[in-house]
Amino acid sequence: MSRSLHLTAADGHRFEIARADPSGSPKGGVIVLHAIYGLTPHIAHVCDLWADAGYAAIAPAHFDRVGPGRVFGYAPEGADAGRACYAATSEANILAEIAACRDALADAGPVVVSGFCTGGSFAWVASAKLDGIAAQVNFYGSHVASRHLDLHPRCPTIIHYGDHDHVVPIADVERIRSANPGIELHIYPGAGHAFFNPEQSHHEPAAAALVWQRSLEFLERNFASSAG
């Protein structure tokens, strides 16, 4: 089970994390970046899934810059509150928190950055701008095409989208593919946004299972042989 801990970024900001560790030696580390709802139980559970798969996982609470314990429900007002929290912090702050998580996972082996929705957008940014990131596993990054198409991952990348995503239209998904021919991009027929999350209405169990299988296989292919 994941546990609540704290890390300190290079700028002195102390923030909450959820951390889960495997029972044996880790294959690597995974940084899990949350969507607009904050460090929800779902995100902590994703850390548990990574630990069950053999990886040490950390999920930072980016909204701690605004105030501690900022976690919101999936209703529209929760989404609005989450957007306001993200707007109140900055890319530099978020990258500093990701870097602190990377450093905390250094002993686990190669470090992966992952994320959901807006967290997926920042995973994309981190994969382009931060050193020490060995791979990216991206779950429907929401602003990759609209804000970050000029950035390109500097590590092996897999990214997943549903073809019924109301946040990222399929035309934008194809723009990502065209601009980044070296990445592994999968489209899931009939799946909407947030289809991996069983707490949300667009959850698609079959697509979620396939996403997870493909993501684990991707990591095994790309760097498991060099993990600690």
* Rounded distance between C-alpha atoms, residue 89 and residue 175, angstroms: 28
* Rounded distance between C-alpha atoms, residue 36 and residue 39, angstroms: 9
How is 80-134 classified by DSSP, letter by letter? Answer: HHHHHHHHHS-HHHHHHHHHHHHHHTGGGSSEEEEEETHHHHHHHHHHHH-SS--
Residue 225: count of CB within 10 angstroms of its CB: 8
* Rounded distance between C-alpha atoms, residue 154 and residue 135, angstroms: 8
Report pTM.
0.96
Q: Which homologous superfamily does the CATH classification assign to the domain defined by 3-226?
A: Alpha/Beta hydrolase fold, catalytic domain (3.40.50.1820)
* Rounded distance between C-alpha atoms, residue 64 and residue 93, angstroms: 11
* Rounded distance between C-alpha atoms, residue 227 and residue 118, angstroms: 28
Q: What is the mean pLDDT of each run of 10 residues along the chain (228 residues)?
A: 96 98 96 98 98 98 96 96 97 98 97 98 98 98 97 98 97 98 97 96 96 98 61
Question: Per DSSP, which regions of 129-206 are E strands?
Answer: 135-139, 157-162, 184-188
- For 226, the 3-state DSSP assignment is helix
* Rounded distance between C-alpha atoms, residue 98 and residue 54, angstroms: 21
Q: Is 75 exposed, middle or buried (0-12, 13-18, 19+ CB in 10 A)?
A: exposed
Computed over its alpha carbons, how large is the radius of gyration of the chain? 16
Residue 6: count of CB within 10 angstroms of its CB: 10
pLDDT of 228: 40
CA distances 140 to 12, 27, 102, Å, are: 31, 24, 22
